[in-house]
Each structure stands twice: as structure tokens, then as C-alpha cells.
Amino acid sequence: MDPLVPILPIPDEGRRLGHDDPRHAMDTTVSSSGVGIGIDASGTATLLGALAPDGRVRPVGPELVGSSEQREIDWLIATGTVDDVLGAYAIALGEHLGRRPRRTMRVWCSWYSHYEGVTQQAILDAADAVDGHQIEVVQIDDGWEQAIGDWVPNDDFPAGMEKLADIIRASGRTAGLWLAPFIARSDARLVEERPELLLRDAEGAPVVAGINWGGPYYSLDPTSHATQDFVHDMITKARSWGFDYLKLDFLYAAAFPGRHVEPMGPEAAYRVGVEAIREAAGDDCYLLACGAPVIASIGVFDGIRIGPDVAEFWEEPMLTAMGDFSGRGARNAIITSSERLWLRDLIDADPDVAFFDRSVVDLDEATLRSLRDLAAITGFVGTSDRLELLTNEESDELDALLADEATVKHESLLRWRIDGRVTDFGWARRSAAAVPTGRMP
């Protein structure tokens, strides 16, 4: 057998940071959560892919080797072109884990217009501004809650969430809401009042899933019946308010290793937790996974974010210098999302928003075009611009993308043809001095 080389190589000197399993985040050798591809000297691609959560793939000499935690799982081995093997893997994942109905999405979210400063008035303005645009969902993002873990509206939403959902629905749109169901900020009331929900490490300390919002935040244990009841109540409340589209973020925290109440692999624990969410939400609620383990999300979620936050700038140089290629920025979003477009036939793939208001971005036209091309390929069109501030030309550009159902053809890993026009996302990778890891998914 000819030796295999990883399809997208890691830089020799690079360290990889980000929201991976913390046991692997500092690895300097190639590995992957669930699936790996190598190409031999003849150009033939070989894929080894887990068909259940908790698989890991790494190259050992000339071979790809899979491993799993605590239990036996099924694997797929496929050879052929890259398109062939990824297509076969998508089919097999759907057969093993299930698949939800595919659909195109047209979403406005508040994040890049308002970030955590979103207010009731901002959402009322957005509900007015979407008139005349083919936008289906108006989604309230982070900033509405009292604290991460305390899911009640803050003082900037005096009318309450049910009233806002009613207004959005009266405009003919679906009301959407952002939640982070499996984390709690260290100063949230939840941490003091419900400590039994927290995932613990071997010493009994709460597992820190990351640092944000001015401090650490903790993982909740998705295998705990108490956590499942808490999450069920949270989702049921959001549904009772009238939100039929839920963007669920920071989900990777539910796949962190720790001392689970019910011992199992971290991704199997995540699967238990998100299945409880689906049960609470019901089949008629659109669930978007964000910051989530990909394979363990298949069959539960309608859609999944396939890259980091795009942001209104190219990259954050400090994070890049540290080797963190999971941080926000158009560069990382284009690179990561373009490598995960094979998911589009299995689950709605969300590449994050495209920008149209050039007055608020520091991005060139090639970058803006690539973000729109990702939306055209996936059929998931998101925007966060303040629509009332768009020029007539910018508004027309948005409407053209919202209305378009492009004819799309995949030509190679990063090369696509959209309505006859070729787009090659490899330019984003080539334009960077440092090459990020190509782990998939």
C-alpha cells in the first residue's frame, strides 16, 4: 500500500488551539474527531470514518487508524476520489445516525449588528426592516439573558420575550432565539443554586469549558437527570414564548471529558444531552447547532454551523500568532466552512453570515464574494446587517442572494461552480502566511 499523507497538512511548527477535546487541543501531530482522509501517490483518497460518536482518527505510518472510547463503534472505509469518499461517508452517517429534512434558510440575526448590546428596540427595528426582503427568521442572539446560565430576559427587554416573539411572528417571520444550554458562567445564580448540574473533574472541581463574558464558564453534565430536566424546562419555556427556531451555542462543552453521573464517552454524553433537547423542542422546532461536535449532532439537529464566527474583519493576529485557527474572523470562517461543505447533503450547513453593509466591515470584495458563495452553495443565507442602513445597491445585492437558488456543482475539494462561475476557496488558505490544520470535521 502506498503511504498516505493527510489531505490538508498541519504546519510543521504549529500548535492547534481551540474548542477541540482538551486532551487533544495541544497535539502537534495530525488527528481528527471522527474522520480522516489520506491520499496515496497515485492520487487515490482513502477515508476512515466513525459512524457513531467518540471516534478518533490519526495516521500511523502509511495507515489511518481509528480508535473509540469505552465501546465498540462501526466504521466506514472508502476509497476513490475525495468527492466519492466524502459522499459515501455522508450517506453512511445518515443511515446510522438519522437525518432531518433538508431545507434552505433565510435568517437575520442580531449578533454582528449589536453583539451583547442587543435591546428590545433593536429587535423591534429589525422586525420592521425585514419587510420587503425574503427573510424567514428574525433571531435574537446573545445579550438578551440576565447571565449565561440564567435564561430570563434582562432589563433591556422590559416587555418580555413572549411579546417580542409575537411581534416577529406577526411580521410573517419565524421567531428565533439564542441559548447556550450546557454552560453556566461562574457568577450565574445557577452555579450557586444548582451545583449538582455541573460536570466535575477527577478532583471534584467544576470543569471549565472556556473563558468568555469576563470570566470562566462551566460545563453542565448532560448525563445527569437533573441537567436533562433543567434543559428540558429551558427549551420548553423558549417554545412557550413562541420561538420556533433555536440557535444553540457552545455545545462542545457538553462533550468535555469529566466525571459523568452516567459514565460514557464525552461525545456519547453530548448525544444524550442533545437528544433531550430535541425531545423538549419537538419535531416542528428548527434546531441549529453552533460550536458543536459534528458527527454526534447528525440526526438530532436541523442545521449546524460549519465554521467559527466570521466577524467583520479578516483575522485576529494575536490568535493566529498563538496557533489558534478556531477564532473569529473571515479568514478562518472561509477556510473551515469550505472544508466542511460535504455536509450539505446530510444536514443544513450554516457558514455564518454574509455582509452587505460595506461601511461596517474591513473586508475586500473577494472576501465578501466568498462569504456569499458559501451561502449560495449551502442554501443557508444569513445576514446581520442593519437592513435600514443599506444603500439601494447593497439592498439589491442582499435580495439577489436571498432569492437565488443557485445551480451548484462541486469540482474538487475547494473548487465549486456556481451558476457556471468558478469559485475556488483555496485562495483564503494560500493568502495566509501560516497554514491552519485541516482536521475534519
Provide the pLDDT for residue 234: 98
Ramachandran quadrant class, 93 (left: phi over 0; alpha: psi -120 to 50; beta: rest)? alpha
Asked whether residue 280 carries a pLDDT value surpassing 70, the answer given is: yes
What is the maximal distance between C-alpha atoms in the chain? 66
Average pLDDT over residues 288-309: 97
Per the model's pLDDT, the better-predicted residue between 319 and 372 turns out to be 372
The answer to whether domain 105-430 has CATH 3.20.20.70 is: yes
**Residue-wise burial string across 323-354, b where 16 or more C-beta atoms lie within 10 A, e elsewhere:** bbbbbbbbbbbbbbbbbbbbbbebbbbbbbbb
Confidence of residue 404 (pLDDT cuts 50, 70, 90): confident
Above pLDDT 70, what percent of the chain? Answer: 93
> Which DSSP state fits 232?
H
Q: Is residue 141 scored above 70 in pLDDT?
A: yes
Q: Is the pLDDT of residue 2 over 60?
A: no
Answer yes or no: is pLDDT of 9 > 80: no
Asked, as a colleague might, if the bond just before 441 is cis with ω within 30 of 0, I would say yes
The full set of domain ranges for the chain reads 5-97, 105-430
d(CA 104, CA 303): 10
pLDDT, tens digit, 9 for 90 and up, residues 80-138: 999 999 999 999 999 999 999 999 999 999 999 999 999 999 999 999 999 999 999 99
- The pLDDT mean for the chain works out to 91
- Summarised one tens digit per residue, pLDDT across range 185-224 is 999 999 999 999 999 999 999 999 999 999 999 999 999 9
CB 17 within 8 A of CB 25: yes
pLDDT digits (tens, 9 = 90+) for 35-77: 999 999 999 999 999 999 999 999 998 899 999 986 789 999 9
β-bridge mates for residue 227, sequence order: none
Spatial distance between the Cα atoms of 316 and 321, rounded to a whole number of angstroms: 9
pLDDT confidence of 11, banded at 50, 70, 90? very low
